[in-house]
Amino acid sequence: MNFFIADAWAQAAPAAPEQSAFAFLPLIILFVVFYLFLIRPQVKRQKEHQKLVQALGKGDEIVTSGGIVGRIVEVGDNFLKVEIAKGVEVRLQKPAVTTVLPKGTLKDL
């Protein structure tokens, strides 16, 4: 009966893929992309904000993260006193400052 039906023989097992550096290449590329486009710019922004906060002084005109605009009256270690209107002063944490405005921006304060 071998004439009509061929004998079924098991196929040889495929060769195991070699573990090489090319197997990790997509993972390495993904890490490099994340570093260049996400991590590095964020660290740069943090350093710039830290410089901005350390350079704050009395008389600087600022904008906070909450949108409050005012002039610094007193500078402490962790807090600022900011005058937002004539006779109205608020205490804010230093990291809440997002922008230092050019001198003379707030003329009516």
* Whole-structure pTM value: 0.68
**Domain containing residue 82:** 57-109
Confidence of residue 14 (pLDDT cuts 50, 70, 90): confident
SS3 49: helix
61 and 51 belong to one structural domain: no
Predicted pLDDT at 11? 74
Q: Is the dihedral of CA 37, 47, 89, 91 positive or negative?
A: positive
74 and 89 belong to one structural domain: yes
78 and 91 belong to one structural domain: yes
Distance CA(97)–CA(90), nearest Å, equals 13
5 part of a folded domain: no
* Structure confidence by residue, pLDDT tens digits, 53-109: 999 999 999 999 999 999 999 999 999 999 999 999 999 999 999 999 998 888 865
Q: Contact 100/56 with Cβ under 8 angstroms?
A: yes
Q: Is a pLDDT exceeding 90 seen at residue 7?
A: no
48 and 96 belong to one structural domain: no
Tally of structural domains, the chain: 2
Main-chain phi, psi angles of 59, to 5 degrees: 95, -10
Q: Contact 81/72 with Cβ under 8 angstroms?
A: yes
83 part of a folded domain: yes
Q: Is a pLDDT exceeding 80 seen at residue 9?
A: no
